[in-house]
Every structure is written in C-alpha cells, then in structure tokens.
Amino acid sequence: MDSPPTGGFKWPVRVYYEDTDAGGVVFYANYLKFFERARTEWLRAAGIGQHVLVQEHGIVFVVRHVEIDYHAPAKLDDELSITVAVEKMGGASVYFVQQAWRIDGEEARLLTSACVKVVCVDAGAMRPAPFPETVLQKIILLSNPS
C-alpha cells in the first residue's frame, strides 16, 4: 500500500452509484469533479468564496490545463481522500498537485494524480488578471501554514 501525504488539505469523498460507469468503477472524468470540489473547499478554508471573487473583485478562476494519471480504480461506496497542494504560483496562475486516495481503515492506495493549472481571469473580458493582493495573501497563507 501507498502512503498518503501527511498534513496539507484533504477533502473526503464517498463514491456513489452515479459516479460509476457500466463496469462498476468510477468513470474517469468524475475524478475531475472530485478535484474541483476539493479545490473549492480548499479556497473556502482559505476564506475565499468563489461568489465573492466575482462580486467583489470581478474575477473568476478557470482551469487552463490538466495532466492526469490513473493508477487504480475506485468503486462504489469507497471512501476517498482528495488532496490539494500548491506546486507553484504565478501572478495570475496557480499550479496544483492533486491526488485521490482510497482509504480503507489504516490502509491507503493512490488511485489518481493530477497537475492542474488554474488561471485568474477578469469575469467580463475572460482574460488573465492578476490575483487581488488580499486573495493572493490568503492563498499563500493556506499553502504554507507555518
């Protein structure tokens, strides 16, 4: 068995019937949904509501690029832990490393890993925009909790 990262942000996910395909395993694209939800909860943990980003700052976060690897399948009723870690940041982008782990008691297995580039864009023009300073500081603080 593998060892999930200690510390960092984790979001629990239960696999429901609607998440599976005809073969009874999680449909590959649903991992992207799991990762999206975990990033949203990560932002919420930093005190950043996505609706506030639009209303107060006129920005939205959009996924620009994803690289994903599938290591093992998840199945109906599995308990997963989705991890979120910032790999690097730019003036208008953040690169996340995300993983999906199956947790079974004391055992864990890496199922899926991804690198996700998210870009901050102007909500009206849909063009890259720099992170507002207050948002940037919250992201940095959550990324480096020391």
Of the candidates 2, 19, 21, 104, the residue annotated as catalytic is: 21
CA 17 – CA 142 distance, rounded (Å)? 33
Number of domains the chain contains: 1
The predicted model scores a pTM of 0.91
Query: pLDDT tens, 5-55?
Result: 666 899 999 999 999 999 999 999 999 999 999 999 999 998 999 898 999
Q: Give the torsion through C-alpha atoms of 30, 32, 35, 39, to 10 deg.
A: -130
Q: Is 21 a catalytic residue?
A: yes
Q: What is the CATH number of the domain that holds 53?
A: 3.10.129.10
Domain extent for 61: 9-143
